[in-house]
Structure 1
Amino acid sequence: MPAGADLKVPGALPFITPNRVFYRVDTALVVPRVDTTDWQLRIHGDGVRRPLVLSLDDLLARPMVERDITLTCVSNEVGGPYAGNARWLGVRLADLLREAGVRPPSQGGPADQLVARSVDGMTIGTPVETVLDGREALLAVGMNGEPLPFEHGFPVRMVVPGLYGYVSACKWLRELRLTTFDAYDAYWVRRSWAARAPVKTQSRIDTPRAYAAPAAGRLPVAGVAWAQHRGIARVEVRVDGGAWQEARLGAEDGVDTWRQWVWPWDATPGRHTLEVRATDGTGAVQVERRSPPAPDGATGWHRIEVDVRAG
């Protein structure tokens, strides 16, 4: 992690989210406890010329990479808590698919959807083109220097930067099947969520908290912004609908992680509204219009109110 990625602002979250507080959103009423002695991963389906069946020992014997990647849940409201940044250890998914003979649709492959299936039957569909476009899509076995916790998918889960979790981050993985979006609808798509869901640019104010009552004076306004696989180029803050002020960004730890930001505010007594917006690495500014999470992710600027006390 580069120096300065974590700005260490009092009241703000750390750059790396500890496992114990990393958000969890899934359908498992009981967390699966997988016996690794007979666990296997099967890779098969349309365009797979060499089907693979791997034990956990087979997977662990392969070259591993460690990457910092921010995950985001599509159900996250603007300013919500369902985003976290972790250091993932795993095997490159693209390497396994190419070993199985899989080609993306742009190279003539017949399958455009990779359906991941959990040990409890949950299905998640991911665009094949995305997995094979060079990003660090992983079959993760470790999280923040520890074996993958049970609640986060032990023994193996998928992590694909740039896509919301419901189309990319299958936990307790046991099967990868190549098919098409026309032929199969995964679990959430059958419930009216979008089949393809790239992460939307978002920013969030973490300190001060909404409806806080800080004392007047110099006050750090800080938070995080994310646009996985595009990166964050700028974050701006404004007070009471005034002019936008550019915040200072933490160092970039790759385009697949969030960036911390901070802006010093000379707060005056009274009630004030703070807003934040981000610009991603392509130059696109975060969408202002507020929309709900369904069907493919919320939009809107995060806005909070605070009551500043006289010093």
Structure 2
Amino acid sequence: MRGVSGKPSSSDQDGRQRDMTSRQAATRARGRRALRVLLGGLAGLLAAAAALGSAELVSAAVRPQASPVVAVGGAVIDRTPGSVKDYAVRHFGTNDKLFLQLGIVAVLALFAIALGVAALRFRRAAVAGVAVFGVVGVLAAVSRPDHRVGDVLPPLAGALVGAVALWLLSARLSPAVPAGPAGGVGPSNDQAAPASPTPGTGTGSETGTGLGSGPRTGGGVGTDAGSSPRPAFDRRGFVIAAAATAAASAGAGALGRTLNGHAGAAATASRHAIALPRPASPAAPVPRGAGFPVSGLSPFTTANDRFYRVDTALVVPKVDATTWRLRLHGRGVPRDVVYTYDDLLRRDLVERDITLTCVSNQVGGPYAGNARWIGVPLAELLREAGVVAPSQGGPADQLVARSVDGMTIGTPVETVLDGRDALLALGMNGEPLPFAHGFPVRVVVPGLYGYVSACKWLRELELTTFDAYDAYWVRRGWSRRAPIKTASRIDTPKPFATPKAGRVPVAGVAWAQHRGIDRVEVRVDDGPWHVATLAAEDTADTWRQWRWEWDATPGGHTLQVRATDRTGATQTEQRAGTVPDGATGWHSVVVTVA
């Protein structure tokens, strides 16, 4: 309504001011609600951190493998189909375990955020939801093949601490009781201003705006003398509680990791104290000419820290050699035999160069390596215990090796007893086995893929039959028997390299353990095959380097390689994946010659 002068009347101005004040109040209310939701999610994350930190600390009193993330990760690995595991190894390589644990933490974080937000309205239900973490952790712990009674303690402790943390943090985000009567002093500095103030008619001023900026004075614009301020959350209390929770969680987690790191101190000391004796049967010196001086070519002997590692252990077991025991028993063994580490050291040891290959190795893949192993002849140990080959009437055709982490690997007894250098390995490249490669004792059987032979962290050998027992990987779709297939790889030039035109060395390695490599051939752009020059052979159980000099012409080219073993069998061109018994096909490399 306008006055005589045409100017807006005071009632119009008051209406517009009330509308503006209402819009501002609504905007502030939405901001406060959004902030409260964000802080609820943060409360959930902090509660999860408290759960993990406390569980890590408790696991230090049990064992590192009892940590919930490790236990859940192990359970996930156990229940993952072989093809999915193969995909993980193919795409993530030896970082597959890291990606798995990061994935578990990410899922946990999302669940924790959801619980934190839910706790704003349903605190009891959300806190009860934390128990799900504990249940999952307990079930994962007891499902592991190597579980112990104490393994349930870390997830239980973590769930309890996480529930308490979520309860306390979410309580700080709950609406507080108003500090004064209607029309009196509103929320304190730790509380939000009223979410939806009722416009008043007075002309008083608003002494504070926004979240917790100060009290409103009654009678001013935005406060109705007859209304009660809407209570808000305890912001200062939440900040203090959140900071304390974060600090305590970080401290507990760091302390737990430190203590877990020292858990293997006795094992480390026992390894340092070992002096491997001179073998009764040393390996012959590597022949001159076993390696070509070509840049980019894999060395004949793979260094321990460069040797591939593919297994299911999220935490590398650290076993004290002074307390380690190996039990040998089963069909055809009249009486159980138990060996100590010193028992094995006192035996006549043999030393051999043997190339190992993982069945997860794709065509041209990196999961093959050659090392000098020292250990006890496995066949000798079995025969002393009374084991007879099945071809000679023995009752057992499978030797099941069990690891301290619960892994089981089945090896044909006939293969172990056929004269090849199957070993209980104690040393690798002149030193006691590294922890990551099976200290104190592992199995090495030349000619077989690792999943049917190379049991690390060995604790038990059982004689049984393939009909009576399926080992770990067999239950997941892999073959019971898996001799290594003849394979070859181009190491240089690398894929998508841009060598200069002219003479270019093409080189790599080929392997056919226990048969030996007889010939390697290379071709360019589906042209004729060219015989490569082979390096000197060490033994039939090791890989063999090869090289071919290529007169490269400008443009894009595809190089291919194939090998023929000493039985006369040549690699098949047919491409096949790693499941169920190893990949096949010719390795190829695409290059562009400048």
TM-score range, shorter chain: over 0.9
Moved more, 90-99 or 44-53: 44-53
Amino acid in structure 2 at the alignment position of 1:147: P
Tell me the SS of whatever aligns to 1:134: coil
In the alignment, the residues of structure 1 paired with residue 342 and residue 332 of structure 2 have an alpha-carbon distance, to the nearest angstrom, of 26
Question: What SS does structure 2 have at the residue aligned with 1:183?
Answer: coil
Task: Give the corresponding residue for 2:355.
Answer: 70
Alignment-mate amino acid for residue 430 of structure 2: G
2:450 partner amino acid: G
2:558 maps to which residue? 273
User: Which residue of 2 is the match for residue 219 of structure 1?
Assistant: 504
1:261 equivalent in alignment to 2:546? yes
Task: Give the Cα separation in 2 of the matches to 1:244 and 1:205.
Answer: 15
Which of 387, 400, 405 aligns to 1:120? It is 405
* Aligned twin of 2:385: 100
Please tell me the residue identity of whatever aligns with 2:358. Answer: C
Kindly provide the amino acid, as one letter, of the partner of residue 288 in structure 1.
E
The CA deviation string for residues 59-91 of structure 1, in whole angstroms up to 9 with x for no partner, is 110011110000000010000000000000111
In the TM superposition, residue 8 of structure 1 has moved relative to its aligned partner by: 2.3
- Provide the rounded CA distance (Å) in 2 between the counterparts of 1:239 and 1:258: 24
SS in 1 for 2:558: strand
Alpha-carbon shift at residue 51 of structure 1 (Å): 2.7
| Per-residue deviation, residues 116-149 of structure 1 (Å, max 9, x unmatched) | 0001111000000000000000000110111100
SS at match of 2:352: strand
Give the distance between the partners of 1:174 and 1:30, measured in 2 at CA: 17
Aligned-partner Cα distance in 1 for 2:567–2:511: 13
- How do residues 1-311 of structure 1 correspond to structure 2 at under 5 angstroms? 1-309=286-594
In the alignment, the residues of structure 1 paired with residue 436 and residue 402 of structure 2 have an alpha-carbon distance, to the nearest angstrom, of 16
The percentage of aligned residue pairs carrying the same residue is 76
User: What is the CA-CA distance between 1:190 and the residue it aligns to?
Assistant: 0.3
Secondary structure in 2 matching 1:151: helix
Q: Secondary structure at the match of 1:58?
A: helix
TM-score normalised according to structure 2 size: 0.52
> How much does 1:49 deviate?
2.5
Could you say which structure has the greater relative contact order, defined with CA pairs below 8 angstroms and 6 or more residues apart? Answer: 1
Give the AA of the match of 1:141: L
Partner SS state of residue 97, structure 1:
helix
CA deviation profile, 1:237-256 (whole Å, cap 9, x unmatched): 00000000000001111110
Contact 1:23–1:83, Cα closer than 8 Å, also in 2: yes
Q: Is the CA contact (8 Å cut-off) linking 1:8 and 1:14 kept in structure 2? A: no
- Structure 2: where are the runs of 5+ without partners? 1-285
Q: Which has the larger radius of gyration?
A: 2
| Structure 1 runs of 4+ with >6 Å offset | none
3-state SS in 2 of match to 1:98: helix
CA distance in 1, matches of 2:504, 2:290: 20
Kindly provide the CA deviation profile for residues 254-286 of structure 1, in whole angstroms up to 9, marking residues without a partner as x.
110000000000111100000000000100111
Alpha-carbon offset, residue 54 of structure 1: 0.3
CA RMSD of aligned residues (A): 0.6
Structure having the higher helix fraction is: 2
Find the residue that maps to 1:57 and give its secondary structure.
helix
Query: In 1, distance between residues paired with 2:358 and 2:330?
Result: 28
**CA offset digits 1:128-180 (Å, max 9, x no partner):** 00000000000001101111000000000000000000000000000000000
AA in 2 matched with 1:80: G
TM-score calculated relative to the size of structure 1: 0.99
Output the amino acid matched with 2:291. Answer: D
How far did 1:50 drift? 4.0
- Larger strand proportion, structure 1 or 2? 1
| 5+ residue gaps, structure 1 | none
CA–CA distance in structure 1, aligned partners of residues 335 and 372 of structure 2: 31
CA distance in 2, matches of 1:21, 1:292: 25
Contact 1:116 1:177 in 2 (8 A): yes
Tell me, yes or no, if the aligned pair for 1:216 and 1:308 is still in contact at 8 Å: yes
* Alignment deviations for residues 162-221 of structure 1 (CA, whole Å, 9 cap, x no partner): 000000000000000000000000000000000000000000000000100111110110
Alpha-carbon distance in structure 1 between the residues aligned to 2:335 and 2:356? 31
Letter in 1 for 2:349: M
- Asked if the contact 1:50–1:99 (Cα under 8 Å) also holds between the matched residues in 2, the reply is no
- Aligned pair count? 309
| Conserved? CA contact 1:46–1:111, under 8 Å | yes
Q: Distance in 1 between matches of 2:293 and 2:311?
A: 30
